[in-house]
Amino acid sequence: MKIIDIIKDKKPSLSFEVFPPKTSDSLESVRNATEQIATLKPSFMSVTYGAGGGTSEFTLEIAKNLQKNQEITALAHLTCVNSTRDEIKSRLKMLSNSGIENILALRGDITPENRDRTKWDYHYANELIEEIKKDYDFCIGGACYPEGHPESLNQKHDIENLKRKVEAGCEFLTTQMFFDNNLLYNYIYKIRESGIEVPIIAGIMPVTSGKQIKRSCELSGCSLPQRFKMIVDRYSDNPEAMKQAGIAYATEQIIDLFANGINAVHVYSMNKFDVATKIKENISEIIK
């Protein structure tokens, strides 16, 4: 099933993100974790893609297993920053042959190994989207950044780039994690004013450790509201308390999003079945 058809429904949509293993040694344990999350019957599940395409084989394996054996709609991430045009075409063919209908098209992270932009066949996500649209009928999603992409000059510049993705064929957008819902509401107002009308999926990260959130914020450039900083400062040295507080905070965000008309929420569950389970339990009556 195509994700655009799922999220256009008025019913609240709850989905989870999982990530593939870095090596084949842990493939079975990761597959088991993703299968556990699949038992929660989310609206769909996304499968991430390593920097430079390092986990492409496992991304396909996990996505295919979720869709074929667990009967869960899979959204396969695809990055292009360190890939040739031929490599991307080959991956698209494999995804199509495996029955995957949905792709999250991303530029991907810049690593020390791929900093030489003269060697890139693709420089931006909109170029990847254009490539996909040439020969395939995938439902294509893209990323958006309520606090602006870390490399953008400013938010206006970032929204201009976002329009290029949509004009290239992006059908829905999933946000980078954020911890203040007002940031998202203000952002949606601005992108709607710019003429972007595709559905927005809100990306929520349940924070389960202090170290995790500090590193995530460094990489993504997202900010922490003072209220949440106090939670991290108070509970980060107590893992179980931090997990409970982080899940509670994420739950509160999700309830507020649904109440304010954001019908699609994507949880960055980090392959943690217990976290995904608790989130779903906390809103079980809301998403009926």
Report the catalytic residues. Answer: 17
Write the DSSP assignment of 22-33 as a string of letters: SSGGGHHHHHHH
Could you give the CA distance from residue 182 to residue 178 in angstroms, rounded to a whole number?
A: 10
- Dihedral angle computed from the Cα positions of residues 30, 66, 264 and 102, in that order, rounded to the nearest 10 degrees: 110
For 68, residues 6+ apart whose C-beta sits below 8 A from its C-beta are 99
Of 170, 179, 159, 171, nearest in space to 231 by CA: 179
Of 148, 67, 152, nearest in space to 103 by CA: 67
**Amino acid identity, residue 79?**
T
Helix (H/G/I), strand (E/B), else coil: 141: strand
Q: Which long-range contacts (CB under 8 A, 24 or more apart) does 216-224 make?
A: 216/177, 220/150, 220/176, 220/177, 221/145, 221/147, 221/148, 221/149, 221/150, 222/147, 222/176, 222/177, 222/178, 222/179, 223/147, 223/179, 223/180, 224/179
Helical segments of the chain, H only? 3-7, 27-38, 56-68, 85-97, 125-135, 155-168, 181-193, 210-220, 226-235, 239-259, 273-282
Could you give the CA distance from residue 246 to residue 231 in angstroms, rounded to a whole number?
A: 8
Helix (H/G/I), strand (E/B), else coil: 45: strand
